[in-house]
């Protein structure tokens, strides 16, 4: 020991450098061990080699210090410092990657709900102390966390003595607020985005203001088991679009407009991809009695409701979901230097802030590299916009399905770009963008295990840059027909819906189950094609057109009571009658076009007799009621500038038979 310490300065320097090296090595080993499931053998070998090198350097440092071989000691110490720097650099990068992925992973057992007390923009009230003794509107549904539970907690905790008025729906509440019948109402904090796609409610963000907001964490009812499922097994991912005024996933409202379900089999690298039309008319898992509605409205109850709704629809388990902020897509594409897309026609669309005018995004036809704003506009576009752009940019036909195809093209183009990323700066920028604008229920270990999947893809890619070819992507299609349905018991509006054919849903479900290894694929024994009839890849679900058992309440006005009884009896609806039983129907409390599944009873008012004057008067009254019944509130997408027929195209149903009018 005396020989080691006789040169005190050299001893101190050697000791400090040795301790720093050992500390940085230990930290590096810790970070390397975080990368579970990634190159396990190489990681173990690297740790062993690192320990051996450290041991050799320490032994040499002690030997040279003991015999005080100055030059050799300096060389060893310099090597130790270099290794310390390398260990610190590698540790920093591993730690940055891991922390970024940890931010993306949301595996908590709680969901945060947020409710706000709002009023009209011109109201002088700015906080709770300004509401005086005003009546507060709340939702009557006592199970609603945002509409009833949080509002009552606010009233109790803030010692508010205000009376409350209960409403059956947010829409009715908002209508009364706009009409001045009530000045303050409790709604979900993201209310302006929830109703942005409904005509008459697009400007809520500009005409109302929030004066108080409260959040509440609630334990998730559904068990989260996805985080422990090995990524080496086939899995399903639900991609969901998120809208926000600012970049970032936190406090962003999931709007349900963009829904994509992907199944992936890592064993044979096969994929199915399905875009779900936002207006698909399906049972909503978290609505009372799973009442049917357009699937985009499941987003009002959060990602858990949407996930359960899609699981019930497709009869599969959703292992993982990924929420992506649209503004993050813009930055992600720009970080990657754009994406390669073959644009089929000239188009124009809103920018990422849903602005037109000088902010309108224009995309010309042809194969090209789209920047972030263009890629998002291409993925969002589903209608020409003749009222916003000249004929050069609106001469095409599109719909929700074509939009779904565009979204799939953008996703595929992004994956192709990811393959070519090599710059460390680009990787850092991608990690920052992803961590800020993406959220998933995948655990960090599951995200890391995707490395092995991409490794297999890269190994098999060779010279090919097309990820779709490598993954054997099978595109799926949900077929159906258009139908306007009165949302009785919900928004109480006449809404456009897309009614799915049962056989199409079944075909899509089976294709997903085959790719997940849950069912055996049916062997196609033969197929034919020639130069005049080229082979076209089958789009599963597209050619299925089986009828669905959708029955709508008809317009009873002018009909006899026996007709009403016949229809309602066949569909399990109780009939209440006002007026003479010998007259004809002059009004009904359940509007025409309501789904009979939502109707338990109906009240009809009959005329006093069968005179022509009575009938004429009755029909005149009904015509006014039918054509004006909340006509101004017919649902419409904000980016849809094609005028839809505002009339309720309701045909007279033969009692008990489905209405399949499209």
Q: Is 476 exposed, middle or buried (0-12, 13-18, 19+ CB in 10 A)?
A: buried
What's the mean per-residue pLDDT of the chain?
Answer: 82
Does 351 have pLDDT greater than 60?
A: yes
Q: In sequence order, what are the residues at sequence separation of 6 or more whose Cβ sits closer than 8 angstroms to the Cβ of residue 214?
A: 114, 115, 116, 150, 153, 154
Does 157 have pLDDT greater than 90?
A: yes
213 and 227 together in one domain? no
* Separation CA 500–CA 507 (nearest Å): 12
Q: Considering 186, 219, 252, which residue would you say is the last residue of a domain? A: 219
* Separation CA 284–CA 617 (nearest Å): 40
The CATH number that applies at residue 478 is 3.40.630.190
Does 286 have pLDDT greater than 90?
A: no
The lowest-confidence range among 6-20, 283-297, 414-428 is 414-428
How many other CB atoms are found less than 10 A from the CB of residue 323?
22
Q: Considering 172, 202, 219, which residue would you say is the last residue of a domain? A: 219
The lowest-confidence range among 262-276, 458-472, 495-509 is 458-472
Strands 320-325 and 235-243, by their bridges, are parallel
Domain count, the chain: 5
* Domain that includes residue 358, residue range: 337-400
**441-457 residue pLDDT tens:** 888 888 888 887 777 77
- Residue 202 forms part of a structural domain: yes
SS (H, E, C) 424-445: HHHHHHHHHHHHHHEEECCCHH
**If you average pLDDT over residues 186-199, what whole number do you get?**
82
- Residue 162 forms part of a structural domain: yes
**117-140 residue pLDDT tens:** 999 999 999 999 999 899 999 999
536 vs 497 pLDDT, higher one = 497
**If you average pLDDT over residues 49-77, what whole number do you get?**
91
- Residue 407 forms part of a structural domain: no
The CATH number that applies at residue 139 is 3.40.190.10
Does 228 have pLDDT greater than 60?
A: no
325 and 453 together in one domain? yes
Q: Is 372 exposed, middle or buried (0-12, 13-18, 19+ CB in 10 A)?
A: buried
117 and 198 together in one domain? yes
- Residue 408 forms part of a structural domain: no
pLDDT at 660: 36
Does 593 have pLDDT greater than 50?
A: yes
490 and 501 together in one domain? yes
Task: Kindly state the DSSP code that residue 518 receives in the 8-state scheme.
Answer: S
The lowest-confidence range among 251-255, 409-413, 533-537, 626-630 is 626-630
**If you average pLDDT over residues 403-414, what whole number do you get?**
88
- Residue 612 forms part of a structural domain: yes
pLDDT at 329: 87
Does 189 have pLDDT greater than 90?
A: no
**If you average pLDDT over residues 211-228, what whole number do you get?**
71
pLDDT at 196: 74
How many other CB atoms are found less than 10 A from the CB of residue 503?
16
**540-583 residue pLDDT tens:** 888 888 877 899 999 999 999 999 999 999 999 999 999 877 78
pLDDT at 464: 57
The share of the chain scoring above pLDDT 90, in percent, equals 46
The model scores a pTM over 0.95: no
302 and 448 together in one domain? yes
**If you average pLDDT over residues 147-173, what whole number do you get?**
93
- Residue 258 forms part of a structural domain: yes
């Amino acid at each position: 020991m005396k020989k080691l310490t006789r040169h005190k300065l050299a001893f101190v320097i050697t000791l400090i450098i040795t301790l720093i090296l050992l500390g940085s090595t230990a930290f590096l080993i810790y970070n390397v061990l975080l990368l579970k499931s990634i190159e396990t053998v190489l990681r173990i070998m690297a740790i062993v080699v690192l320990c051996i090198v450290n041991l050799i350097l320490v032994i040499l440092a002690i030997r040279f210090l003991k015999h005080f071989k100055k030059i050799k000691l300096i060389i060893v110490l310099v090597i130790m410092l270099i290794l310390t720097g390398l260990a610190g650099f590698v540790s920093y990068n591993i730690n940055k990657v891991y922390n970024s992925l940890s931010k993306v992973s949301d595996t908590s057992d709680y969901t945060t709900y947020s409710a706000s007390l709002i009023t009209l923009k011109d109201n002088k009230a700015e906080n709770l102390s300004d509401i005086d003794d005003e009546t507060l509107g709340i939702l009557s549904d006592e199970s609603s966390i945002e509409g009833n539970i949080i509002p009552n907690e606010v009233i109790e905790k803030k010692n508010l003595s205000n009376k409350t008025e209960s409403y059956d729906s947010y829409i009715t509440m908002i209508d009364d607020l706009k009409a001045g019948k009530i000045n303050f109402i409790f709604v979900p904090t993201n209310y302006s985005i929830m109703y942005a796609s409904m005509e008459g409610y697009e400007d809520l963000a500009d005409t109302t203001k929030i004066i108080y907001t409260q959040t509440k964490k609630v334990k998730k009812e559904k068990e989260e088991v996805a985080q422990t499922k090995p990524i080496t097994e086939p899995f399903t991912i639900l991609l969901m679009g998120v809208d926000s005024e600012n970049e970032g996933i936190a406090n962003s409202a999931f709007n349900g407009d963009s829904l994509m379900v992907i199944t992936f089999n890592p064993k044979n690298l096969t994929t199915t991809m399905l875009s779900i039309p936002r207006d698909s008319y399906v049972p909503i898992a978290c609505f009372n009695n799973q009442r049917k509605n357009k699937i985009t409205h499941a987003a009002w109850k959060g990602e858990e409701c949407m996930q359960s709704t899609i699981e019930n629809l497709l009869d599969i388990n959703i292992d993982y979901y990924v929420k992506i902020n649209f503004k993050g897509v813009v930055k992600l594409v720009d970080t990657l230097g754009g994406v390669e897309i073959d644009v089929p026609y000239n188009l124009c669309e809103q920018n990422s802030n849903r602005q037109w005018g000088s902010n309108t995004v224009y995309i010309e036809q042809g194969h090209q590299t789209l920047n972030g704003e263009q890629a998002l506009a291409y993925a969002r576009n589903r209608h020409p916009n003749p009222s916003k752009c000249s004929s050069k940019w609106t001469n095409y036909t599109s719909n929700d399905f074509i939009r779904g195809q565009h979204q799939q093209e953008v996703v595929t183009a992004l994956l192709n770009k990811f393959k070519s990323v090599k710059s460390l700066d680009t990787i850092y920028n991608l990690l920052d963008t992803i961590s800020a604008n993406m959220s998933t229920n995948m655990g960090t270990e599951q995200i890391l295990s995707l490395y092995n999947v991409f490794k297999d893809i890269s190994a098999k890619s060779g010279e090919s840059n097309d990820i779709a070819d490598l993954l054997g992507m099978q595109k799926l299609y949900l077929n159906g027909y258009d139908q306007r349905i009165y949302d009785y018991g919900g928004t109480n509006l006449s809404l456009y819906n897309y009614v799915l054919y049962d056989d199409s849903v079944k075909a899509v479900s089976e294709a997903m189950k085959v790719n997940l290894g849950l069912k055996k694929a049916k062997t196609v024994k033969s197929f034919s094609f020639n130069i005049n009839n080229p082979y076209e890849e089958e789009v599963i679900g597209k050619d299925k057109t089986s009828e669905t058992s959708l029955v709508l309440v008809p317009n009873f006005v002018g009909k006899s009571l026996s007709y009403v009884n016949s229809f309602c009896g066949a569909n399990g609806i109780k009939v209440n009658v006002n007026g003479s039983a010998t007259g004809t129907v002059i009004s009904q409390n359940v509007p025409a076009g309501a789904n009979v599944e939502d109707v338990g009873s109906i009240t009809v008012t009959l005329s006093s007799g069968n005179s022509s004057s009575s009938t004429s008067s009755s029909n005149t009254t009904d015509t006014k009621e039918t054509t004006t019944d909340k006509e101004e509130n017919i649902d419409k997408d904000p980016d849809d500038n094609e005028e839809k027929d505002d009339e309720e195209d309701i045909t007279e149903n033969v009692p008990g038979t489905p209405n399949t009018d499209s």
